[in-house]
Structure 1
């Protein structure tokens, strides 16, 4: 009779240890579920809802276009750029605006008036995005923004 509580405690302990061992085995041996593109898209959308993007403007970037042979006049382009970033990198993007202006001028000043006049907004954005990617890669730094968009474009 005195050993009965000890036997009950041993049985209960054994059952609990078996249950914990079974749960651990199930957890480690269960099949791994690979995320589908839909699951990844939903997760990205959820992140976007939690942390909406921030936009930083760089206005009035004036660029003198390269002259073509025989052209004696000056041709200019004015462009407003908008950088898409996140909340934590917004300040860094603002601090980089002078450098970003310089890279945009260097990239776009290589265009002739004829070339610039035949380009779409998407092509301008692609050109500037590539220039920024190359610039940050050359400096071995991470871009504080995900993309640059054209807010306004005037070619004179």
Structure 2
């Protein structure tokens, strides 16, 4: 085999490999491009402008039936996602939201609170908010509550 033939064979092999890699990339990434193209239509349908309100430093003393002499605390900062037109109404209810969060989180034992993920704690808080608003027969003025800081001592 001459050097010229060898160089052509290697070049042809590299071109085939590059074409295969490109084809694979397009096959694997194709649906994501389609989903990305559809995403603006979905976003365009929801024209709600959201604001975010802070509820800082909700400090909760956790109950510990096994070791009542040692206090355990949980500190959480919340972010309330609210539609812009409901911002004033939600601001008026921030003390209520702080109270509901305190009541909900104080039921946890320290071990249970430590074992929960942030998502589980967020879900428990949102469930407590939903239940309180259903119980009081009023509409919840915000979309959801998020946790921006969680400390368990």
Q: Could you state the TM-score of these two structures normalised by the residue count of structure 2?
A: 0.71
- Over the aligned positions, Cα root-mean-square deviation in angstroms equals 1.8
Match of 2:93 in 1: 96
Q: Structure 1, unaligned stretches of length 5 or more?
A: 1-40
Match of 1:149 in 2: 146
Residue 116 of structure 2: which of 116, 119, 132 is its match? 119
Match of 1:45 in 2: 43
Higher fraction of helix: 2
For the residues of structure 1 that align with 2:60 and 2:78, how far apart are their CA atoms? Answer: 13
Residue 140 of structure 1: which of 127, 137, 141 is its match? 137
Match of 1:33 in 2: none
Q: Structure 2, unaligned stretches of length 5 or more?
A: 1-38
1:68 deviates by 2.5
1:43 deviates by 6.0
For the residues of structure 2 that align with 1:129 and 1:95, how far apart are their CA atoms? Answer: 18
1:135 deviates by 0.4
Q: Deviations over 1:104-149 (max 9, x none)?
A: 0000000000000000000000010000000000110011111100
DSSP-derived class of the 1:89 partner? helix
Q: Could you state the TM-score of these two structures normalised by the residue count of structure 1?
A: 0.69
The number of aligned residues is: 116
Structure with larger Rg: 1
For the residues of structure 2 that align with 1:87 and 1:61, how far apart are their CA atoms? Answer: 24
DSSP-derived class of the 1:116 partner? helix
For the residues of structure 1 that align with 2:48 and 2:150, how far apart are their CA atoms? Answer: 29
